[in-house]
Every structure is written in structure tokens, then in C-alpha cells.
Amino acid sequence: MLDYSIMKPEGVLVLKPRAPLGKEDFGGLSTVVDAYLSDHAKLRGVLIHARGFPGWENFGGFTAHMHFVREHHRQVERVAVVTDSPIAGIVESLAKHFTSADIRHFPFLDDAQALNWLETA
């Protein structure tokens, strides 16, 4: 399950994974992001806020995730990964191979600092 919203004046997509991610999560997310991007050139940033990474429900969830990243990565300036998960460093390193966005890790309780960094893009 993935909670998501776009802070429209700021141009920031907020993602909060709550359970293993499924194909349906990315279908709805794509619709919302594409609607925003129809009126805006880019997203200023993406804030991923999760205590830990929940993984994917199945291979369909993983491929939907990769498809979403492939279709939207050029339209994102910055990504803030806000988590205390020990895999945050690995995710940060791997993500740099899939996007030209500036990626930064923040501790879970520093979501306000992460949002401030995204808004100054």
C-alpha cells in the first residue's frame, strides 16, 4: 500500500509506503503525477517517507515500480529519502543509476528538513 499526494504549490510528490507495493499502487500514482505534469514541466521533488522499505507484493509490483521510475525520472529535480532503514544508503546509491535527480537521505524524524531541501531546488 502506497499513500501519495502532491503538494501543488511546492511541486513536491510525497510518497508514504505502508505495506508491500503492488501494481495497483503505481497505476493510481501515475494518473495523479501525469495529471500534475500536464500543467507543470517538472516536479521540484519527491519525498519518500517510511520507517523502513516494505518491498513489493510480487514481481508485478516491482515491474510497475520500475516502469513508473523510467517514465518519470527526467521530470524530477530532487529526491529526499526520509527513513531510518539501514538500506537507505544502498537505495540512494542504486537510485543514482536510474535518475539524474539529486538524491539525499534524511533521518526519519527530519521530514521537515527534507521538505525544506526539496523546496529550495
Q: What is the pLDDT of residues 54-95, one digit of tens each?
A: 889 999 999 999 899 889 989 999 999 999 887 766 766 666
Whole-angstrom CA distances from 65 to 5, 23, 31, 35, 68 are: 17, 8, 14, 18, 5
CATH number reported for the structural domain that contains residue 43 in this entry: 3.30.750
Domain that holds residue 82: 2-119
Please state whether 18 falls in left (phi above 0), alpha (psi between -120 and 50) or beta. Answer: alpha
Mean pLDDT of the region 35-52: 94
In the chain, the number of structural domains is 1
Q: What is the pLDDT of residues 1-19, one digit of tens each?
A: 999 999 999 999 999 999 9
| pLDDT reported for residue 40 | 95
- The pLDDT of residue 98 is above 90: no
| pLDDT reported for residue 111 | 93
Sign of the CA dihedral with 25 first, then 41, 44, and 105 last: positive
Q: Which residues, at least 6 apart from 46, have a Cβ–Cβ distance to it below 8 Å?
A: 12, 13, 14, 15, 76, 78, 79, 80, 101, 118
Between CA 23 and CA 59 the distance in angstroms is: 9
